[in-house]
Amino acid sequence: MRKKVDQVLEEKKELAFLGGGKERINKQHQKNKLTARERIDFILDEGSFEEIGMFVTHRATEFGLEKQQYLGDGVITGYGKIDGRSVVIFAQDFTVFGGSLSETHAEKIVKAMDLALKSKIPIIGLNDSGGARIQEGVRSLAGYADIFKKNVDASGVIPQISAIMGPCAGGAVYSPAMTDFTIMVQKSSYMFVTGPNVVKTVTNETVTSEELGGADTHATKSGVTHFTASNDMDCLLKIKKLLSYLPNSFENKVPELPIQLQDERIEELEDILPNSINQPYDIVSIIELIVDKKSFLEVHKDFAENIVVGFARIGGKSIGIVANQPIYLAGCLDVKASQKGARFVRFCDSFNIPLIVLEDVPGFLPGTDQEWNAIITNGAKLLYAFSEATVARITIIIRKAYGGAYDVMNSKHIGADFNFAWPSAEIAVMGAKGASEIIFKNEIKSAADPAQAWEEKQNLYADTFANPYKAAARGFIDEVIQPYDTRRKIIRSLDLLANKKINPIAKKHGNIPL
C-alpha cells in the first residue's frame, strides 16, 4: 500500500523555505531585493529547479551558534534549466546570518561546483553575503579558499557567471573575480576589498560604499563588472541572455539558433564611413549591420570604450567581436583596452567561440600615463591572447591599421585565418602626415614652400601606403572586399573553418604577461 505524504519531511521543507524567517524576508523586500529562492525561481524554467542540500546546517558551537540553526545554512544550491539548457546554480540567502559564509555553506557551494564540473554545464552564482561568517573564524576563510581553488579548476572548463546582488566585501570578492563574467545590480550591490571605514582610517579618504565599489564604479572605472542591471529581475534576465551565447563547456560547440538570411548584401555599409580619414564614426553601427539582427550583446560596455567587445550571432551561431571604436580616443589601444580585449579573446578561445575583429586603429596611445602604467606589458596581453587563440579568427580592416597595433589586432602574422580589407583600409607604419614629416624632413625644410612640400610628400606617402593593396600584394590580406560583402565573407569563412583544429605545442602552460 502506498504511504501517504510524510508530514515531518513536508514540515522541514516548509521551514527551509522560510530561510531566516518572515521578518527578514520582509526586510529583504523593503530593500527592493528578491529573496534567494525568488531569484532562483525567476531565472530558471518553471518547475525545473532541483534542490540539493536543503537540510544542511552549520556545525559551529561558538557564541551560542548551536542554538541558531537554519536549514540550508544561508545558501540554496541545486540545478535546473534555462531556456531548456541545464545549469547548476547557487544563491546566497541574506536572511540567514546575512548570507555569510560558514564552513558548511562553503561546502555546499563547492559541491555544486563539482556537480557542474563533472556534468560539464555552466554554473551561476547569485551572491548576496556579509562575507566570512564572523563566528566561525578561520573555518570560514578555509571555505572561501576551497571555493577559490574550485573556481580555478573550473576556469576554461565550464562557463562561470557571478551576479552580485547585495554586499560582497573582503576576500569574498575574489571568487566572482575569478569567474568569467560578473554582473552587478545598481544601488543594491557593492564589491570592495576594504570598505569605506577602513579606507577612511588608512588613507583618510571619505567615500561612500556606492562610490567605492558600486555597480557603476566597477562598470566604468575598474572594469571589475562586465554588466550592470537596474534591479534583480533585470540582472537575472541579463544572465539568461548572456548564457544563450555560451556553450555548456569547452567540449561543446556554441549554441545555434535558426539561421537567418545568409548571403545578403549589406548596401548600407557602402557609405557608412565619413569622408575624412580623421572623422570618427560609431563602430557599433557597423557591427549591428553585419551580425544577425538584434543579436549583439556588448560586454564591458562602459569600460575602456575605445575598444568594443561582445557576443553576437552570425548565421545563427555565436561569435565574439573585438572592434576598435573611433569615437573614443580615435580607437587607439591603451592599457585598459588591451586588458579588456585580452580577457575577452581568451574567454572566446576557451569556449570555442570564433573571433571576428573589426579594425580601425591608429596605434597605441602615447604618453607618460600610458608608459608608466605599463602599456608595454598590457599591450602584450592582447598580442599574446590573439596569438595563442586557436578558434576560427577573421579580421576585417575597415580603415586604419597602423604600426604595432596592426600586428596586434589579429593580423595574419599572428595566426588569423582570414584577413579581409575594405578598399578604404590604410595599412602602414603610421598616418601619411606623421610619416612624411619624418622621412622627408630635410626636403620639406629646404623647400621654397615647406607647407606645400609637406602636402606633396603626404600625398606621395598616402598614394604609396594609404591603401590595402601593398599588404594584399604580399598576401598579408587575403582579399580586398566591397563593404557590402562583409557579412557574406564572414559566414563563408566560418563555415569553412567550422572544424578547424590546431594541436597546441606541448608545454605545461604559457606565461601570458600578467
214 lines the binding site for ligand HXC (CB under 6 A): no
Residue 167 or 213: which CB sits closer to ligand HXC? Answer: 167
379 counts as catalytic: no
* φ and ψ of 25, to 5 deg: -65, -40
Beta strands in 43-177, from DSSP E residues, in sequence order: 50-52, 75-82, 85-92, 123-127, 160-164, 167-169
The contact pattern for ligand HXC, residues 80-109, with x = CB under 6 A and - = no contact, is -----------------xx-x---------
SS3 of the chain: helix, strand, coil, percent, to 5: 45, 20, 35
Rounded CA separation 262/315 (Å): 6
Rounded CA separation 5/401 (Å): 70
In the bound complex, what is the minimum distance in angstroms from residue 195's beta carbon to ligand HXC? 7
In the bound complex, what is the minimum distance in angstroms from residue 374's beta carbon to ligand HXC? 27
Q: Are 240 and 82 in contact (CB under 8 A)?
A: yes
99 counts as catalytic: no
Residue 93 or 349: which CB sits closer to ligand HXC? Answer: 93
* # residues contacting ligand HXC (CB under 6 A): 16
Q: In this chain, which of 37, 133, 226, 340 binds ligand HXC, going by CB under 6 A?
A: 133
Rounded CA separation 365/328 (Å): 11
Q: Which of 21, 142, 145, 171 is catalytic?
A: 171
Q: What is the length of the chain?
A: 514
Residue 167 or 176: which CB sits closer to ligand HXC? Answer: 167
405 counts as catalytic: yes
Residue 89 or 169: which CB sits closer to ligand HXC? Answer: 169
CA 70 to chain centre: 36
Q: In this chain, which of 130, 315, 320, 379 binds ligand HXC, going by CB under 6 A?
A: 130
In the bound complex, what is the minimum distance in angstroms from residue 136's beta carbon to ligand HXC? 8
Rounded CA separation 110/143 (Å): 9
The position carrying cell 564614426 is 281
Rounded CA separation 406/421 (Å): 12
Residue 48 or 194: which CB sits closer to ligand HXC? Answer: 194
- Interaction residues for ligand HXC, span 5-44 (CB under 6 A): 24
170 counts as catalytic: yes
Instruction: State how far the alpha carbon of 57 is from the alpha carbons of 91, 138, 142, in Å.
Output: 16, 18, 17
Burial state string for 123-147 with b = 16 or more CB within 10 A and e = fewer than 16: bbbbbbbbbbbebbeebbbebbebb
Q: In this chain, which of 90, 144, 192, 476 binds ligand HXC, going by CB under 6 A?
A: 144
The position carrying cell 626636403 is 443
Q: Which part of the chain contacts ligand HXC (CB under 6 A), choosing from 127-135, 150-158, 372-380, 387-395?
A: 127-135
In the bound complex, what is the minimum distance in angstroms from residue 13's beta carbon to ligand HXC? 22
Q: Which part of the chain contacts ligand HXC (CB under 6 A), choosing from 120-128, 132-140, 200-208, 332-340?
A: 132-140
Q: Are 334 and 370 in contact (CB under 8 A)?
A: yes
Q: Which of 170, 363, 379, 431 is catalytic?
A: 170
The contact pattern for ligand HXC, residues 147-186, with x = CB under 6 A and - = no contact, is --------------------x-xxxx--------------
Q: Which of 323, 405, 432, 466 is catalytic?
A: 405
Q: What angle do CA 259, 261, 264 make, to 5 degrees?
A: 145
In the bound complex, what is the minimum distance in angstroms from residue 57's beta carbon to ligand HXC? 15
In the bound complex, what is the minimum distance in angstroms from residue 208's beta carbon to ligand HXC? 13
131 lines the binding site for ligand HXC (CB under 6 A): yes
Beta strands in 242-392, from DSSP E residues, in sequence order: 297-299, 307-314, 317-324, 355-361
DSSP state for residue 222 in the 8-state scheme: I
Residue 144 or 461: which CB sits closer to ligand HXC? Answer: 144
134 lines the binding site for ligand HXC (CB under 6 A): yes
Residue 178 or 257: which CB sits closer to ligand HXC? Answer: 178
Q: Are 50 and 59 in contact (CB under 8 A)?
A: no
The position carrying cell 579548476 is 153
In the bound complex, what is the minimum distance in angstroms from residue 170's beta carbon to ligand HXC? 3
Q: Which of 195, 316, 404, 434 is catalytic?
A: 404
SS3 for 307? strand
**Cell numbers representing residue 134 in the block:** 564572523
* Interaction site with ligand HXC (CB under 6 A): 24, 97-98, 100, 130-134, 141, 144, 167, 169-172
Catalytically active residues, by annotation: 170-171, 404-405
